[in-house]
Structure 1
């Protein structure tokens, strides 16, 4: 009898694709839609795990786009302290689809947000309260800094070949009067919490899907050739305000984001999904990629994820385009890869919530 299951490849069956394989040798997890050339400018944004992706791409010799580089007088470590070179623009972590949409609306003057937080005489940007250690001296300085970041977002969107966005959270806090969505709950990193004004929101599937559709519309309007690669962060929630146990809240959040990503890939040929979430979290990998806190991803886990990325790209589309670098430059790139794999100093504003655990 002839039927569709008779001609499916090995990757379609759990027995041949998973059960009979060493977990570290599972292949074909990603059938990428389109090749990513080393010369394609790549923008990275999103939650904490996106930092690993940008770092690994850069170390491999891909053209990671830094649209808001640090001032020339800043040495590398102070520059990192001030959140330069973390993402392609200095927004800090963008945890939700609504926040990404909000940044794009600001960058292209669709909306205005002129809210600022205070703490100990210093000024903080509620959209990125940890971006400036110790805060800004004045609202004017904070406004100028945000304008620079908005200009960087425009440069990144219009100059990129691939926009990589890591979906991180469904939970957020927003201003009930203005609708502004914050990077973190007011009163934690800065500002003062007002129970009547600052409300909790756990975005649902339909709202996230609508926000991401709005994001894609804006990205392609400014750059019709832009491709979008989605991932879901495998890092569990630091804390939840949903009333659930943090473990079940994490499951709800991540499964919702994964479902949204899957639908976007089905509906848009220019959108793809890379399964970093599955590689880190699936039971078949036995939790081997998590640190003892069962939350932080160890450097070896990041290395496995990125090696899978490059291997599956090569399998689907052939090896990435040859770099024009000489032998010395290739040796430097190998050293950079080793250094990137050894580092796990990811900046994550959400981890500030750990300070309030009893």
Structure 2
């Protein structure tokens, strides 16, 4: 008797692909429909994993496509504080597919939110980038001028990019009841004021995430037809949930929805799923810190080594080695620099001590 499982590859059998293997030896990356060339214009966005891709590309000496650079007189530290050099443009973390789609429609003029500026005693804030300008903008005029420049930078990034790496982070988000505009953070957390009459919680379904993802890809490809897309799902659990349930249950729902939606979107040509979520999850405690949320430096390096090995058309490129342990303080400082990423979502759980930073996510 014959059956379809007789001659399948080792990668398709748990006993040969997973059982008995060390975490560092697990490689679930499937054959790729394309490779990223050294001169490709790569744009990253989404949750925190996208920041690791950008940083590792730079460390390999590859220039990421950047359309909104910092002023040359700004120090590296100050530029990072104002969110320059983290993504192609200064859009901050984009946690949901709806937020990504609305960003594209805002920069092309297809969507203009009614609630587009938050005033406070400290300054004026962008509701859709509430943490990119520490202390807020000094005046409405400064805010609008910055947004005009920012929109131009995003348009250029999305219409000229060769490869787009997007990390799906959350299904929960807060939106305006008036026009459905979604925010990266609940109003009142980093800026603005929460009002239950004006704001509502959304928790997207598989169908909603899939539609938003496919709509974004389709609309951008109308201008940039050769665009290739790499989707990933953040392995980092939710910092907090607004749903009346345990955060673990909310996290499980969110990751399941995002993973299925990514798979659905990969039916489009030139769209590939990179399994960063699976790589970290399979390792269990080995790749998570004591808080069971932050991913260790070892986990980040494993993910990025597979990314470079399989996706980059660079045979000699390898992610940076682990920091030297020549001095304990220096080692800890270097390790923190390797895995730290700007994570707005951490603000939802002020009891933590991560100082609004996170690792892979």
* CA deviation string 1:83-132 (max 9, x = no partner): 00111110110000000001000111111235211222411100010010
Distance 1:334 1:231, change over 3 A: closer
- Equivalent residues in 2 for 1:1-358 (5 A)? 1-113=1-113, 115-265=116-266, 267-282=267-282, 285-313=283-311, 320=314, 342-355=337-350
Aligned to 1:326: none
Q: Distance in 2 between matches of 1:21 and 1:350?
A: 33
Q: Distance in 2 between matches of 1:122 and 1:198?
A: 22
> 8 Å contact 1:49–1:235 — kept in the other structure?
no
**Bigger shift: 122-131 or 134-143?**
134-143
Q: Distance in 1 between matches of 2:348 and 2:281?
A: 22
User: 1 or 2, which has the higher helix percentage?
Assistant: 1
CA RMSD of aligned residues (A): 2.2
Aligned residues: 342
Gaps of 5+ in 2: 325-333, 353-361
Q: After the TM superposition, list the runs of 4 or more consecutive aligned residues in structure 1 that deviate by more than 6 angstroms.
A: 335-341
Aligned residues of 1:60 and 1:337 also touching (Cα < 8 A): no
- Distance in 1 (CA, whole Å) between partners of 2:118 and 2:28 is 47
Distance in 1 between residues matched to 2:300 and 2:157, nearest whole Å: 25
TM-score, normalising length: structure 1: 0.90
Q: CA deviation at 1:23?
A: 2.7
SS at match of 1:5: coil
Task: Please state how far the C-alpha of 1:344 moved relative to its aligned partner.
Answer: 2.5
- Measure the CA separation in 2 of the matches of 1:9 and 1:135: 55
1:301-331 deviation digits (Å, cap 9, x = unpaired) = 11110101122337xxxx52779xxxxxx9x
> Structure 1: which 5+ runs fail to align?
324-329
TM-fit CA distance, 1:356: 6.8
- Superposition TM-score, scaled by structure 2 size: 0.89
Partner of 2:149, secondary structure, is helix
